[in-house]
Amino acid sequence: MSRAWKYAITQPLATVAVAALSVALWAAWLGWDQHRDVHPDGSSTGPYEPWQVIGLVLTLLPPVCWAAYRRYFPAAVLGTPIGLAIASFYDWSDDGSGLFVIGVGMVVVGSLVASFLVTTLIRSMRGADS
């Protein structure tokens, strides 16, 4: 099997794997916390704490780095945003105002930019040694 055929078969599988892992990581870090914290002054925060979001971001890095290192560049760039779009849409879709779509869009754009930057960095480092 030629190298081109190998990547034609494994590229979509890698994209699905990174996306599925992103959904699972969202559920592990953010999916269980659905309550806003109400403070004595009446203000509210949440439902997520900063450590949860930081933990999600840090655990999303290894799959992106793995895909970029293996030269699955579309999987590295698109897998995480696809997975986070699915997870955030499902998690936030009970919002009656419909504004959750803006939040989902922000998650997609932010994760797309971040995964592109990480992939570009790994690609440039990998290109230097091979």
Q: Where exactly are the structural domains of the chain?
A: 3-129
Q: Is the peptide bond before 62 cis (omega within 30 degrees of 0)?
A: no
Residue with tokens 């699955």: 72
Which tens digits make up the pLDDT trace of 6-38?
A: 777 889 999 999 999 999 999 999 988 777 777
Could you tell me the pLDDT band of residue 129, with boundaries at 50, 70 and 90? Answer: low
101 falls in which pLDDT band (50, 70, 90)? very high
Between these two residues, 63 and 47, which has the higher pLDDT value? 63
pLDDT over threshold 80, residue 84: yes
Distance CA 2, CA 25 (A): 34
**pLDDT at 61 (0 to 100):** 97
Query: How does DSSP assign 57-72, residue by residue?
Result: HHHHHHHHHHHHHTT-
Distance, in Å, from the CA atom of 41 to the CA atom of 28, rounded to the nearest integer, reads 31
Span 97-105, average pLDDT: 91
What pTM, to 2 d.p., does this model score?
0.87
> Is it the case that residue 122 has pLDDT exceeding 90?
yes
Helix boundaries (H) for the chain:
3-26, 50-69, 73-92, 100-129
